[in-house]
Amino acid sequence: MRSGEAALLGVTLACTLLAGTAWAQAPVAPRLLGVPDLDGREVLPFDADARAYVVLFVRPGCPVSNRAAPEVARLHEEFARRGVALYLVYPGSLQPDEIRQHATEYGYPMAPIRDPSMRLVDLTGATITPEAAIFDASRKLAYLGRIDDRYIDIGRARREPTTRDVHDVLSAMLEGRRVPYASREAVGCFIDDLR
């Protein structure tokens, strides 16, 4: 083997190892990570045996988040019966009555949970509402990003989304196909405003 070929092989091997290391370092959700429900009882989102876990971050007062409600309901209807655990998460110190009113008003089908200490936010790396974090059956983060591409930017929306990102990722996972993307930039309201 010539020295140029050896150097190229070394660089290729190093890049492969680095890529594998980055993938291996994707966050893994602790089975016993607990957050409160609206009555103050602890919920362990990753303790259930599921084919995938979806953590959807929403908040009242965010128009982009509110417009995502029908798609969130569709996702729940399609994937909950297929063994996916979906959680509606309100980050920050919102009051339970405010959350109940918002969840009812927008027709969310799943029971909301709270993330007052931002444990789920920090685990997933979420920065925006609405944003989804999808973990595979081994509780490894597989996707973080927008729910769909309805919003191009703040104040600029399509009538209908052209890409349903969370739907596409979950479909691929459940069909044993490679996840089409690990992240998509979300548009909405910053979570850091709630800290």
CA–CA distance, 40 with 187 (Å, rounded to integer): 30
Token representation of residue 86: 């979906």
Q: Residue 155's pLDDT is what?
A: 86
Question: Residue 151: is it exposed, middle or buried by C-beta count within 10 angstroms (0-12/13-18/19+)?
Answer: buried
Q: How many other CB atoms are found less than 10 A from the CB of residue 134?
A: 24
Q: How confident is the model at residue 17, as a pLDDT?
A: 34
Instruction: Note the pLDDT tens digit of each residue in 105-131.
Output: 999 999 999 999 999 999 999 999 999
Q: Tell how many helices (H) and how many strands (E) occur in the chain.
A: 6, 12
pLDDT recorded at residue 194: 81
Closest CA to 57 of 24, 25, 91: 91
pLDDT tens column, 22-42: 445 789 999 999 999 999 999
**Separation of alpha carbons 99 and 114, rounded Å:** 9
pLDDT at position 66 is: 95
CB of 88 closer than 8 Å to CB of 110:
yes
Distance CA 170, CA 166 (A): 6
Contact 87, 55 (CB under 8 A): yes
Q: What is the pTM of this model?
A: 0.86
Q: Are the C-beta atoms of residues 46 and 52 closer than 8 Å to each other?
A: no
DSSP secondary-structure letter at 88? E
Q: What are phi and psi of 58, to 5 degrees?
A: -135, 170
- 57-101 confidence digits (pLDDT tens): 999 999 999 999 999 999 999 999 999 999 999 999 999 999 999
